[in-house]
Structure 1
Amino acid sequence: MAHIDLILPVGSRPDVLNLCSTELLSVSTESSGAVVVALSGEVDMTNCASLRDQTTEQLWSTHHLVLDLSGVTFLCAAGLTFLVDVSAAARPPGTRLCVVARTRQVRLPLMITGLSGVMDLHLDVEEALACRRVTPATSPAGPRLGDPRQPGDLR
């Protein structure tokens, strides 16, 4: 992710802080028709709106979206809102959203907020691509993601 220094005079505030989120997001289409959106770096309030727009746009071209958060190093409350928004956009019948949540930086906020119980979580992209619609309670990664004391990277 590019480093941006922002120096502002005291009392001033930028109208819009628009960081380039394309450096955080890559999109690939699998032979099965699934679209994999891989995020990397920090997912925070400076880039969530753009990430949400770019990610939900991918739902128009697929019925199976895999959101790979393996490269995410920081996920704040705005990032959790981003996940809820994308999940809501993927609700039409026949649309699957599989989230790859492998690291502690992603798993812990999902567990604390209870989102791990309502999202279809997986440990790797291959598992997410192979998934059929499952309930979060029967998600194959559910038991493995349920323990916050697990190491930061399950590999």
Structure 2
Amino acid sequence: MSETGLHRMLDVNAWVDAGRSVVELVGELDMYSAARLRDVLDHLPKDAQRVALEMSRLDFLDSSGLGVLIRAMKRAKTLGGALCLVAVQERVLKTFRITGLVRVMPAFPALDEAFTWLDAQHAAAQ
């Protein structure tokens, strides 16, 4: 993980698992790093719009980051998919609870539970 001054960077790793996109976030998602995540999310395969955001090592999230996640959720839904959160640290999850976003971006403790939910959303849309 690289650091620039006092700003900790965001590392983003993405892969496809059985038609589901997994996006792992490590570091801080803020106004400095939001564009990087937006670029990754915008380039996910159109046939893998069931998106699980693995956030166990995401230390910070601001309103710029929330905006990127809301945009990604809307895009996934438009393309027949869904988006959920996985292994979110309590201090980050608190932001989703306060804003009410956890109602539209559910949080799961592990990828297998997230996959079950994403698959059910996909089946219901068929």
TM-score category of the 2 structures, normalised to the smaller one: 0.7 to 0.9
Q: Which runs of 5+ in 2 are unaligned?
A: none
Show the counterpart of 2:46.
Answer: 60
Letter in 2 for 1:133: Q
Query: Where in structure 2 are the equivalents of 1:130-141 lying within 5 Å?
Result: 130-131=116-117, 132-133=120-121
Q: Is the 8 A contact 1:68 1:99 kept in 2?
A: yes
- Write the deviation string for residues 13-50 of structure 1: whole angstroms up to 9, x where unpaired: xxxxxx975xx1111221x2212111011111101012
The TM-score, its normalising length taken from structure 1, stands at 0.68
Q: Which runs of 5+ in 1 are unaligned?
A: 7-18, 135-155
Show the counterpart of 1:11.
Answer: none
- Cα offset, 1:101, TM superposition: 4.5
Higher fraction of strand: 2
Q: Does 1:25 align with 2:12?
A: yes
Larger Rg: 1
Q: Is the 8 A contact 1:43 1:79 kept in 2?
A: yes
Q: Is the 8 A contact 1:59 1:90 kept in 2?
A: no
Show the counterpart of 1:98.
Answer: 84
Count of matched residue positions in the alignment of Structure 1 and Structure 2: 119
Show the counterpart of 1:78.
Answer: 64
Closer, same or farther: CA 111–58 of 1 in aligned 2, 3 Å: same
The TM-score, its normalising length taken from structure 2, stands at 0.82
| Higher RCO structure, 1 or 2 (CA under 8 Å, sep 6+) | 2
